[in-house]
Amino acid sequence: MSDTSHAADPHASHHHVEKISVYLQVFAALMVLLVLTYVAAKVDLDRLAGGLNLVVAMTIAIIKALMVVLIFMHVKHSTRLVWAFAGAAFVWLVIMFVLFFADYGTRGWQPGMNPSVNDEYTVHSAVVERHASDDSITVSPPRN
């Protein structure tokens, strides 16, 4: 007689099923973190230490992302291959952040500063005119 149990089948998949209470706890934690994110955005933490608002916001965001990935996307109980791809996605995200901030930090302007008239970064607006008679548009070069 053949054995029909799942333990004998080497190709049987093992799916972990979370209890509904786990999902509700994660949902409640995400809602608390949402409120915490709002409060952290309203409080000026930068007066305590420069860049503290960014650190707090990114910490909360990383915690929320980990909760979603591990629980709701079922990575917590997945195979090593799924963990490898999730890790690779995270590494790619880190690379993109590093490249973004490297580009942003090396620009010749700073947010909140008004460039002077003689500054090479001054942008002149082109003149766009719409003609009602034939519904055409004329774009003139910037005027100095």
Average pLDDT over residues 16-42: 91
Cβ distance 124 to 144 under 8 Å?
A: yes
Residue 36: inside a domain:
yes
Cβ distance 53 to 41 under 8 Å?
A: yes
| pLDDT value at residue 47 | 84
Q: Is the pTM of this model over 0.85?
A: no
Mean of pLDDT over the chain: 80
Number of domains forming the structure of the chain: 1
Residue 144: inside a domain:
no
Residue 10: inside a domain:
no
Residue 49: inside a domain:
yes
Residue 89 structural domain: 20-105
Measured CA to CA, the distance from residue 132 to residue 3 in angstroms comes to 84
Residue 90: inside a domain:
yes
| pLDDT beyond 80 at 119 | no
**Distance (Å) of CA 97 to CA 57, 90, 100, 122, 141:** 15, 11, 5, 28, 36
